[in-house]
Structure 1
Amino acid sequence: MKLPFEPYNHEWKLTYSNLEKELLQILGSLKPVVAHIGSTSIEGLSAKPVIDILVGLRDESQLDQVPALLMAKNYIYYPKYNEEMPYRRFFIKLKIPPQRLSLPLQFGKGDEMPDIMHDHHYRLAHIHIIPVTSSHWTRHIAFRDYVRSHPAVRAEYQQLKTDLVKQEWKDGNDYNDAKDAFMKRTEKAAVEWYTQSH
């Protein structure tokens, strides 16, 4: 599959802002912190037009309160990743209610993934729920702020994306694997920079 890849769009900020309000309302009892991450959060960077949102909870014990709250509002839950990443709960928000597409509200390990779930035209957002005390919270925020603050790194990332998007991919995970070396190197530099500046 060819992944959709669009020039930076200021509408992404508005989409994020609307989803942030919705998530704060749904998860209000958990007092979450919500942040826009990923390429759509970095002005001037091309991206797949799917908004990545990081939701921070006070501690890991709150993670399992989230699925019932979000699934009740048509967020699709992916418990299939819980074993590999026990510190995170992952959800997808579609542009159309999943019931209208005859989709279940969760996909566990071993569940067959319908082709439509790999089609980025239907995806609005990816929601990553983790504790704010986690190193993964710091890693995501540091990477975003570092790339925003370093034009040369942003240009390198833009060129990598431009090259990779021309290729055929099995799915988004394959594409992410191809970015892995750049991401790991940049994340390491970003966390060092972020730690020193905060």
Structure 2
Amino acid sequence: MIIAEKTKIVEVVPYDPEWKVEFNRIRDQLLSYVGDLIITIEHVGSTSIEGLAAKPIIDLDLVMDSYDVLPQIIERLQQHGYEHQGNLGIEGREAFKRRQADEFMNYHLYVCPKDGKGYLEHIAFRNYLRSNESALQAYAEVKQRLAVQYRYDIDAYCEGKAAFVTSILSKTMN
């Protein structure tokens, strides 16, 4: 998996309720830029799952109806300091990077079509862990073990999580 910004040190920390607050702040800012062009903004990734230890980076999916509006979204986000990075090897997910600092904690921004595989997998995985305590605990253990083992290698950390993520998606993406 290729992520939008390379993490230099893999750090998994206990769940922080402030992540939900921070997501709302980032979401509100993004809505002011592109709210008329999208369906919704979803908080995905580990910070969106209450009780789950995570890297303290918010993942946001801006959900569009279709690729027809992507050029307008790219233009608007560029006007507000974002660089379009393409799909980074994952079909159905367009990544954006902040070109300048803002007042928010670190976050990864993706634009996805409502029927895109990347978006649907993010939601399925998030919702499964939110409703399955044993899977949540198992994933937390995997993440914490890998964060220690691959503290300076985000690619190996992500590859190490892949089997667990795939096993959950095989249950939820029928």
Identify the TM-score tier after normalising by the shorter chain: 0.7 to 0.9
SS of residue paired to 1:53:
strand
Higher relative contact order (CA 8 A, sep 6+): 2
CA distance in 2, matches of 1:53, 1:4: 19
What is the alpha-carbon root mean square deviation over aligned residues? 2.2
Superposed, which structure 2 residues align to 1:104-119 within 5 Å?
A: none
Q: Which residue in the other structure is 2:17 paired with?
A: 10
Instruction: Classify 1:190/1:56 alpha carbon distance in 2 versus 1 (closer, same or farther; 3 Å).
Output: same
Query: What letter corresponds to residue 81 of structure 2 in structure 1?
Result: N
Q: Distance in 2 between matches of 1:69 and 1:171?
A: 34
**8 Å contact kept, 2:150–2:156:** no
| Farther off after superposition, 150-159 or 25-34 | 25-34
Any idea what SS the aligned residue of 1:166 has? Answer: helix
With over 3 angstroms needed to count, the CA separation of the structure-2 counterparts of 1:174 and 1:74, relative to structure 1, is farther
Report the CA distance shift for 1:157/1:95 in structure 2 as closer, same or farther (over 3 A): farther
5+ residue gaps, structure 2, are: 1-7
- In the other structure, the counterpart of 2:96 is 91
Cα deviations by residue, 1:44-87 (Å, 9 ceiling, x for unpaired): 11111000011110012222322221122122432372xx3353
TM-score w.r.t. length of structure 1? 0.75
Aligned to 1:21, the other structure's residue is in SS state helix
Amino acid at match of 2:49: I
Q: What is the count of residue pairs matched by the alignment?
A: 166
Q: How far 1:133 sits from its partner (Å)?
A: 1.8
Q: Please, which runs of 5 or more residues in structure 1 have no aligned partner?
A: 98-121, 193-198
Contact 1:12–1:51 (8 Å) recurs in 2: yes
Paired residue for 1:176? 158
Normalised by the size of structure 2, how large is the TM-score?
Answer: 0.85
Map 1:26-105 onto structure 2 (within 5 A): 26-79=33-86, 81=88, 84-93=89-98, 96-97=101-102
Q: Distance in 1 between matches of 2:57 and 2:71?
A: 25
Deviation at 1:137, TM superposition (A): 2.1
Letter in 2 for 1:60: Y
